[in-house]
Structure 1
Amino acid sequence: MPDTEMTSVDETDEAILVQREDSGAGGGERQIHIHPLVIVNITDHRTRQKCNSQLSQTEAQQVIGALFGIQKGLDVAVYDSFEMKYDVVSGEMQIDKEFLTSRIQQFGAQALPSDLAVHRVVMEFNESPLFMILDPESKGPSTKKKLPISLFESELHMLNGVPKMIFVKAPFKIETSETEGIAIDHISKITPIGDASKSSLHPYLGNVRDAVKMLDRQIDVLLCFLQAIKSGEAPMDHNLLRHISSICNQLPAMQSEHFDAAFTLEFNDALLVSYLATLTKGTTNVNTVVDRFAATQERHHHQRGTLL
């Protein structure tokens, strides 16, 4: 069962990753699906490690963990992850194999990847583990379109006549079920205990604000692209222009006379319905008062007749 790990890589490994990615060799056979709980666990682990280092005023340590999931043929589904214990000895990471073995016994035969040094240790538990990198500090332009995570498979290649293990980028998809999506959405909206100053509307408005900001940035990208085409700095791409035109056509024509007339008519209809509902409610209240008054007067006359 494939298993992976979240770590940073040194300059040599990173160069190998970039070289292999640019060359486009290898990988691409297995269909890998990563569930959102994995990403939530990794980012939570990283955040806790960073906060602890700030409180203790020490350098944040590298966070390492393992993914576990199910493999059926070439289809791999990564459902969850857990943290791994390790010690740094002479600059090298030593994984706590007893802890790892106990977790494997709990979850089954899962794959546990890491960087090249740790990756070889993990191969004692799985012959074809995966290597996953999540960069929480990534601020590149690509992060606007996709998550800052990468997944790699290990392959043995002959480099200068010497067999060497390298990482080859593997495609993957983020996949979630309906129940899992509800759980993740609930977890992401949990507020600190005792924080009564913020209402439930506050996170909703924050999400709306972030969505509007992202929309504004994407519109700026489209605007810069159109200006570059107009000035001749970018080549004409009719396919992209058709897509941009279809996006613009989805927006309401706010300054159109037809739109103003239709909006005013709809607004007046809504007001009329509201006024009619108010009049109906008022009439009902008046009718109730009249009925009660009539009943009171009838009882009063009946009591007067009895006394006489």
Structure 2
Amino acid sequence: MKKISILIPCFNEYENVGPISSAIENVLKKDLSSYDYEIVFIDNASTDGTRDKIEELCAGNKKIKAIFNVTNFGQFNSPFHGMCSLDGDCVIPVCADFQDPVELIPVFVHEWEKGHRIVSGVKSSSKESGFIYFLRSIYYKLIKGMSQVHMIEHFTGFGLYDRTFIQLLRKLNDPVPFIRGIVAEYGAGFNLKLIEYEQPKRRAGKTHNNFYTLYDAAMLSITSYTKVGLRVATIVGFICSLMSFVVALVYLVLKLTNWYGFDAGQAPLIVGLFFFMSIELFFIGLMGEYILNINTRVIHRPVVVEEKRIGFDVDKGDPENTGNTV
């Protein structure tokens, strides 16, 4: 009997962990009764009672398990570690807030049985803020245009991953994993299948995404999968230098031909100084993002450090993963 591993990353989702586990279990029992399954929560150091609720769920159902992180390792590391820690024939990560429709799980499994070892959910539309969706669309098109990898637009990681792809993730040994980029890079070799869906609204609670988390995601994708930023810095720097030389040459000629009558004043100097300084600061910041990415990889800390696990078979041994346990 094949085993389906459902992974639910969560952070402060007290109102959602119970309903999402029930909804997933109902779908599995109704539409996928011929499969074995497990539902695994990986908690990113919640502080609102989510962990207590997860422990209650684990105590009442042996099919529900949990991994507790010692601190919040971010929106990418925690799900990646959870995927690498499970031993099902396939792994399906699902958000705890119901924005990943659980009704798609049987669809993913059906496509998996056809031979698609990666089945990715792609948002065709969303019930979230129209302005936010518009900004996301611009971001995806920008990254897709800049990257050498054919990035998937409106793909958040929701989908099905065969155990052969999970084995690849373990071998990557990446301290700053970006699953969206990894799927885009290697998906063709795993017979990638895209399934469109409309993203529903969050069921309860507040979103944990803010400007900083969205900026962090954008910078991770840019510094990991594009060279355009540094190339643009070089080209713009050259163009600005050329412009400065031309302007200086024009001013020199005007001054020499009309020594007493030509008076440029301070305005061109001040405007030019601030313009070129702003360009320099922008690209210094961009280079800093690349250096930060390199620094994180060189330090090579564990993707996640676990506090404890609940419900896992200790005698059987855990599958190879990329984190540590304290």
Specify the structure having the higher radius of gyration (Cα). Answer: 1
| Normalised TM-score (structure 2) | 0.23
If asked which structure has higher relative contact order (CA below 8 Å, sep 6+), I would say: 2
Calculate the TM-score normalised by the size of structure 1: 0.24
